[in-house]
Structure 1
Amino acid sequence: MTATGPRRWPAWAFLVAGGALVGTAALLAAPVYTAVVAVVAFLVAVVMLVVRRPARLAAWSTLTLTSASIAVSRVWAAVAGRPVVADRGLATGDIRAIVLYPTLAVGLVLLGGTGKVAHLADSLDAAVVTLGVFVLLWLFLLHGHMAPSGSRLVLASLRPIGVAVVVGMLLRLLFMVGPRAPTIRFVTAGVTTAMLGALALVGHSVGYPVDGRVNGTGVFFTGYALLLATALLHPSAGEPLPVRDRGAPSGRLSRGRAAMFVGLTLLGPLAWLLAATIGRFNPGSPTDFGLVVLAGGLISLLLLWRLSLVARVADRRAGQLGEAVGELQVLQTEFAYRAAHDPLTGLANRSVLDERLSSLPHDRPYALLLIDLDGFKEINDSLGHPTGDELLVAIGRRLTSLAPAGSTLVRLGGDEFAVLLPEAGQQEAMALGSAVCEELRLPYPSAVGSLTISASVGVTARARAARGPGEVLREADLALYAAKAAGKDRVAAYRTGLAPRGRRVRPA
């Protein structure tokens, strides 16, 4: 059964019931309700890990540890009545922060996947976002300095740094995994809720007026634990996570990411300007700019690295495109050759002869020889088609050796060949026809013994004038018939008045 079936209702029922208790805790300022929800959410998550064993179990187990830290923190706050964040010393919220932020970041990294070259670009993008979020928190929320001092300084700085890192890792996850998966939506909502709680704690620590019920009841972090348990309870948790098609490693640069890069490149100077004009940033010394300048420099370096990956992939794809174009040109050349040549003998075919005849100047002389083998059908029928093909190939070679430079030798089909002689008269054509008859009547060695065959040649020679290719071939065909009728194995020239006499002549 899929995640859209009836089995999904327990997850939604659990989320609604838990959400009602969390809302009650916020309204009544009663931390006991969030403690109950946090503990139950942790137990449900553990049971689902054991029973369902979802894909990327290590990632879900790591995220469940964050739920455990929240449950312990909420129970301690409800039972002992200790504040989540104290002005001095180590409070339960501080212990939770020490465990939660690193564990949450690692869990998100494992959930997105590791170890693939294609993840490098996503990781770089996430790192850039992390630095950008930190710059915004430093300038606007912390207004350029840490309000706490002494032992509270490290703990106060942990949260903004943790928020920036977790937000970056969440975006990395969304870059790698399809965000429409129900489990990923629950995780995204949960992490976002937890980060809102972290910002509330940071705001309280630096003097912003934050409602005490928000931090005292821990509704945001409990909401995270509730949403994480819902994600594991949902049937889609048992299915493999949908991974986005990355194409070439580090090769995708969508419009959204390109716009993000432009914004982050301008983030440093714009953030300073806005923080100083409409915010509370009031630097007292050059050292107040140190972290922001460092973060801005790192953003620029990471963006350069990221763009170098895009350029490298673009170069590789350009090379692949060049190779593909070269292969396509080779194929086009091969197809063009095959379309214009006889596959058996390798000679040009009828289409080439028609093209050459059509391109002849009307006022220049030419000669066309039409060659027909005498008795080839008997050899082909009695000795078989392989022997006939072997004989045709051998005849093609002999004709090639006889054809003068600049001439066009073609196989018209079957046992017929033609030779087009530009700038040639009848005397030259008749001489070539006699040489063809003499050469072709010589014996041919073959697998079945020595073969002999003769040829008849018809010649037409004059300026093309207004005649088309069909008329030229008709004249040569009439001359060829005359050679056949005169006893074969000879050459005959076309003359006016030749008639077909029973032979089917090529149409004009």
Structure 2
Amino acid sequence: MSASAPPDGRVADDASRPVTRGIMRPALPAAARAAVPRLVGHPRAWLVLLALGSLLAVIAPFMTRFSPAVEALPWILLPGASSVAVVVGMRRYGLSRSRPWLMVCVGLLMTLAGSALGWGVGWIWLRSPVLLAAYQIVTVSAYVLSLAALAVLSLRSVGSRGAALLDAGVITVGVAMPLWALFIDPILDRAPSVGPDLAFTLILPIIDLFIVGLVVRMALDNDRAPWLNMLSVSYVAMFFSDIIYLLDQASGQSYGTVSTTFWLGWSALVGGAMLHPSMSGARHMHVSAPSGRVRVTMFLSLALLSPLVSILGRTFMGVGAEVSPHDAMTITALTVLLAVLLVLRLSVVAEVAETHASDLCAALQQQDVLQRSLAHRATHDPLTGLGNRTLLGEALQRAVADHAARPDGHAPALLLLDLDGFKDVNDTYGHPVGDELLTVVARRLRTLTPDGQILARLGGDEFAVVLPGADLAAATAAAERVLSAVRAPYSLDGHELYLTTSIGVLAETTLTTASDALRDADLALYAAKAAGKNQIAVFDHTLRAERLHHAEIAAGLRQALAQGEFSLAYQPVVNLASGRIYAVEALLRWLPAGGRAVPPDVFIPVAEDTGLIVEIGRWALERACADA
């Protein structure tokens, strides 16, 4: 990549005017080789190179007053230092492992080295036409290589390859329209013939347009990274260097001073960009968004201003107020091409939007399916597929609310059943057989629960059935059917198993909450198991009173152990034949503080149910031994 304006400001005729800067890749002079390593090794090397290079680019045009050797010095030092910066940047950030970046860096090195040796030494110092011709040919080759490398790099850095090329095309055509009207067409009108020098002069700005379009596009897509900003500005400077020379050709005046500053500024910016720390992310370019506010504003400006500037600019610049038919056709063709590119770019945006909308719709559908699945898992038992305790509570609460709204009907009934001896099946045949047994029981129960009734597994071997609006007779009949269905034999894993169930029935009872219903049904279930299992027990309020009394006794037993309310009464054991006492029997007594004694047949069963009998027995043994 490089520029094409003759940096020295000399005005030659069209046949002898030097046109471009070019490339070779010879070794740097000894002075540059000694100074540059110290520069690039500094942590702020990019800033030092940018500052010194910018200063040298500003003062370089004024060095034409000195000898050719002094005049060539900026062209040797600055491109030479930037060449070393490119090599260091390639190695430091691993760019040589990427083919597009390797092509970009080779193009930069060709242009920088050619600028230092071909133009600085070969033409400014030695005035060698042979080196100048070789320089021009290699310069065009470097431009083409850089353009191809940036195109490949841009295609790799974006999500839509068509969008990358269309963006570059829009920028190129939008800038090419005024470029043609204000510079290229006047040069062609004035030129008696199109020779090699004129061809070189015209082709470089055209390639610049594509390069600038690609680099700007990459900068917009990658959040305007510092190194990309510097690279974009450098190529804009190179473009202006070539444009200024075209202006020189079109107007017959010399703008070599400005052209030299822009060209050397390109060298400084390229070296700074390659050494900048943000270059570490150059190998991992971000995927671009389909559109953006800056991009849309730029495209709109190009679409509106390019034709207007192309028509009116000729008058203001004095390059011809009249527009010839072929000029009008060219501008019209470029305008149409710009419109077509914008429409195609819009279609890409629409396609991306449709794709995103389709993906979003699919994602929403998947999310809906996932939410349904999660909701089902949250309210259903994974083993049997029945509702779980949460679903049962919701169903009970709805049934209670419905009955409260229509109190003339029956309150909902609830069956709570627990499988008798299920633990023995698990312990004897293993949990897989136990799980299979639960699924079979669930299938049998499902056949007994028509629509409108809720069947749930509460956990373990406990199930529940909600019967909305059922009276006691209907609830008891349903419980009998369940009892009979569960009692039928099971053939599992080559074994014939038998199982029974105990059922607690809650019916014709005014309910306020689902938790109250479950509590009362559980009391009935407890009564069914206490009655010998394989039984049906109907809840009545005496069960609640008994349960409350049971809880009070249990709490009192814990307090009795802590406060020493137990005592032992010893009853002698007499040998009737001899009349001799040969043993004593220790009898446990409980006398609560400030109360009456509690009979053993009342608190012993409670102690056994709650497990407190172990601690009470240990106390009794120690007390009896101490008394003995």
Common topology (TM > 0.5): yes
Q: Secondary structure at the match of 2:337?
A: helix
Q: Is the 8 A contact 2:173 2:334 kept in 1?
A: yes
Q: Which amino acid aligns with 1:260?
A: M
State how far apart, in whole Å, the 2-side matches of 1:41 and 1:300 are. 42
Partner of 1:139: 181
- Checking the alignment, whether the CA contact within 8 Å between 1:373 and 1:455 is kept in structure 2 is yes
Aligned residue runs from structure 1 range 89-168, under 5 A? 99-101=138-140, 103-111=142-150, 113-114=152-153, 116=156, 118-141=160-183, 146-152=188-194, 155-156=197-198, 159=201, 162-168=204-210
Equivalent residue in structure 2 for 1:355, among 388, 394, 398: 394
What does residue 292 of structure 1 align with? 331
Residue of structure 2 equivalent to 1:367: 413
Q: 1:496: Cα distance to partner?
A: 5.0
Specify the code of the residue in structure 2 equivalent to 1:452.
Y
Letter in structure 1 aligned against 2:521: A
Matched, 1:488 2:527: no
Deviation of the 1:64 alpha carbon: 2.8
CA distance change for structure 1 residues 320 and 11 in 2, over 3 Å: closer, same or farther?
A: closer
In structure 1, what residue type is equivalent to 2:300? V
Q: TM-score, normalised on structure 2?
A: 0.67
Q: CA 1:157 to 1:125, structure 2 compared with 1: closer, same or farther past 3 Å?
A: farther
1:85: which partner in 2? Answer: none
Q: Which residue of 1 aligns with 2:457?
A: 411
Match of 1:456 in 2: 502
Deviations 1:456-493 (A, max 9, x none): 2222223x756322333344334334433443323233
Per-residue CA deviations over 1:434-453 (Å, capped at 9, x if unaligned) read 11111111222233722212
Q: Secondary structure of the equivalent of 2:251?
A: coil
Give the match for residue 366 of structure 2: 327
SS of the residue aligned with 1:206? helix
Report the RMSD for the aligned CA atoms in angstroms: 3.9
Q: Secondary structure at the match of 1:359?
A: helix
Distance of aligned partners of 1:407 and 1:128 in 2 relative to their CA distance in 1, 3 Å threshold: same
Distance 2:48 2:483 in 1: 95
Amino acid at match of 1:166: D
Q: Label 1:223 to 1:50 Cα distance change in 2 as closer, same or farther (>3 A).
A: closer
User: Comparing both chains, which one has the higher relative contact order based on Cα–Cα distances under 8 Å and sequence gaps of 6 or more?
Assistant: 1
Alignment of 1:213-228 (within 5 A): 213=257, 218-225=260-267, 228=270
1:312 CA displacement: 1.7
Q: How far is the alpha carbon of 1:335 from its aligned partner?
A: 0.8
1:394–1:212 CA distance, 2 compared to 1 (3 A): closer
Q: Is 2:80 the counterpart of 1:33?
A: no
1:309 is matched with 348
CA offsets, 1:191-249, max 9 Å, x none? 3333332222111212164446556xx454355456556666x48699673443115xx
Say whether the 8 Å CA contact 1:60–1:111 is kept in structure 2. no
Secondary structure in structure 1 of the residue aligned to 2:501: strand
Contact 1:143/1:282 (<8 A) preserved:
no
Cα distance per residue 1:61-86 (max 9 Å; x no partner): 2233333554424445435769xxxx
| Paired position in structure 1 for 2:42 | 6
Contact 1:41 1:229 in 2 (8 A): no
Distance 1:408 1:223, change over 3 A: closer
- Counterpart of 1:391 in structure 2 is 437
Task: Give unmatched runs, 5+ long, in structure 2.
Answer: 1-38, 552-628
Structure 2 counterpart of 1:254: 292
Q: Comparing 483-492 with 318-327, which one deviates more in the overlay?
A: 483-492
Tell me how far apart the structure 2 counterparts of residues 246 and 316 of structure 1 sit (CA, whole Å).
Answer: 16
Does residue 1:61 correspond to 2:106, yes or no? yes
**Distance (whole Å) between structure 2 residues aligned to residue 228 and residue 413 of structure 1:** 72
Relative distance call for 1:212 and 1:389 in structure 2 (3 A) is closer
Displacement, 1:274? 4.0
Identity score, percent: 31
Contact 1:353 1:408 in 2 (8 A): yes
Q: 1:308 & 1:448 partners in 2: Cα distance?
A: 68
Q: Aligned partners of 1:351 and 1:239: how far apart in 2?
A: 55
**For residue 86 of structure 1, what is the aligned residue in structure 2?**
none
Moved more, 334-343 or 129-138: 129-138
SS at match of 1:423: coil
Taking the aligned partners of 2:539 and 2:272, their CA distance within structure 1 comes to: 96
In 2: Cα distance, 1:303 partner to 1:20 partner: 41
Work out the CA distance in 2 between the residues paired with 1:34 and 1:384: 97
Higher radius of gyration, 1 or 2: 2
Q: Assess if the C-alpha contact under 8 Å between 1:443 and 1:453 holds in 2.
A: yes
Q: Is the 8 A contact 2:475 2:505 kept in 1?
A: yes
Distance 1:10 1:367 in 2: 84
| Alpha-carbon distance in 1 for matches of 2:326, 2:283 | 46
8 Å contact kept, 2:386–2:455: yes
Partner of 1:207: 251
Q: Comparing 262-271 with 335-344, which one deviates more in the overlay?
A: 262-271
After the TM superposition, which of the residue ranges 163-172 and 196-205 deviates more from structure 2? Answer: 163-172
Contact between 2:396 and 2:514, CA under 8 Å: does it hold in 1?
yes
Which residue pairs with 1:193 in the alignment? 237
For residue 420 of structure 1, give the secondary structure of its aligned residue in structure 2: strand
Instruction: In structure 2, give the amino acid aligned to 1:191.
Output: Y
Alpha-carbon distance between aligned partners in 2 of 1:497 and 1:140, rounded to the nearest angstrom: 107
* Contact 1:145–1:288 (8 Å) recurs in 2: no
Q: Give the match for residue 474 of structure 2.
A: 428
Aligned to 2:490: 444
CA shift, 1:333, in A, is 0.9
Residue 241 in structure 1 maps to residue 285 in structure 2: no
How far residue 337 of structure 1 moved from its aligned partner, in angstroms, is 0.7
Worse-matched range after superposition: 300-309 or 61-70: 61-70
Change (3 A) 1:49 1:473: closer
Which one-letter code corresponds to 2:74 in the other structure? V
1:505 and 1:343 map into 2 onto residues whose CA distance is 35
Where structure 1 has 5 or more consecutive residues not aligned to the other structure, the ranges are: 83-89
Q: Which moved more, 1:284-293 or 1:266-275?
A: 266-275
Alpha-carbon distance, 1:401 to partner: 1.6
SS of structure 2 residue aligned to 1:372: strand
Which deviates further from its counterpart, 308-317 or 333-342? 308-317
Determine if the alignment matches structure 1 residue 283 to structure 2 residue 322.
Answer: yes
Residue 268 and residue 230 in structure 1: after superposition, are their counterparts in 2 closer, same or farther (change >3 A)? closer
Structure-1 separation of matches of 2:240 and 2:315: 25
Distance 1:272 1:504, change over 3 A: farther
2:516 paired with 1:471:
yes
After superposition, the C-alpha distances for 1:389-437 in whole angstroms (9 at most, x for unaligned) are 3322221121112212221011122322111112333222222211111
Amino acid at match of 1:64: L
Distance 1:301 1:98, change over 3 A: farther
- Name the CA distance, whole Å, in 1 between partners of 2:278 and 2:548: 83
Q: How many residues align?
A: 489
Question: Deviation at 1:256?
Answer: 0.9
What residue number does 1:400 align with? 446
> Any conservation in 1 of the 2:177–2:307 contact (CA below 8 Å)?
no
Q: Please, which moves more after superposition, 419-428 or 7-16? A: 7-16
Amino acid aligned to 2:394? E
Q: Normalising by structure 1, what TM-score?
A: 0.81
CA shift digits 1:173-203 (9 cap, x unpaired)? 3433666455x56654543333332222111
Q: Helix, strand or coil: the match of 2:534?
A: coil
Whole-Å Cα distance in 2 between the matches of residues 405 and 223 of structure 1?
84
Whether contact under 8 Å (2:215, 2:232) holds in the other structure is no
| C-alpha distance in 1 between matches for 2:273 and 2:162 | 27
Question: Secondary structure in 2 aligned to 1:65?
Answer: helix
